[in-house]
Structure 1
Amino acid sequence: MSWLDEVRFDDNGLIPAIAQDVSSGRILMVAWMNRTALEKTVQEGVAVYWSRSRQALWHKGESSGHTQRVHDIRLDCDADVILLTVEQIGQIACHTGRESCFYQQLVATAQGHEWKAVDPVLKDPKEIYR
């Protein structure tokens, strides 16, 4: 049996993949992989994901230049989530120009709760995606 056969892809042939910064431990993003994306990630040593909206493979950073060099790949106990430990090239993982896609924090307000952007934009997305 191949190592790929041990991965439990969902009914659409996908598995969620968490990208974590190798230095800080911060979660940068969550994306999807299919069998080919996972195989290419292993072969190339850079993160390759599956775009559900475009229905196509995409190399992280192919248009922005903000690639992810993979240091480690782990599979969770249920074999249905991938964890990539990566070096984020250019310090920007999010399409909004931030370090992480997890830049919104739930904060208490007088009216209840609201989401607040707590991380700065490092680069204007208009400069990243032309």
Structure 2
Amino acid sequence: MFGEVAAVAPNASVLAVDARDVLFQSDPFTAMQATRPRGCILTFAADCACAAVADSYFMRWQACLPKASIDAIGQKPPVNGGIVFGGAAAMRTLYVKAAILAATARESSLDSNGRADSRADSRADSRADSR
């Protein structure tokens, strides 16, 4: 989506909000429309409200999590995307790099047969425990 916005409006700014874990004090859409500067075009997009394990986009992002963490999420919705603001092209670059890092982390946690390396889960659990 960020690539499409950057192609159509290269100077556009994008605010990405994970509304599943952000508390709004009032209706953000009404507030944005009421205070929008002249010439500003607002576009809203939403993703699915589905279980994390059924959300293909979320499953790519969480690839570096240990299996126990994925199992604990189960049928709950994906959370904690946070709030990110920036230029459309920069946002596209950020999300592409993050997806590549997640894929790389997942690949490094596979053994030589392409199966999950249980040692990688232990290492990830140890890192999480030390935080």
**Pairwise TM-score range, normalised by the shorter structure:** under 0.3
**Greater relative contact order structure (CA < 8 Å, 6+ sep):** 2
TM-score normalised by structure 2 residue count: 0.26
TM-score normalised by structure 1 residue count: 0.26
* Higher share of residues assigned helix: 2
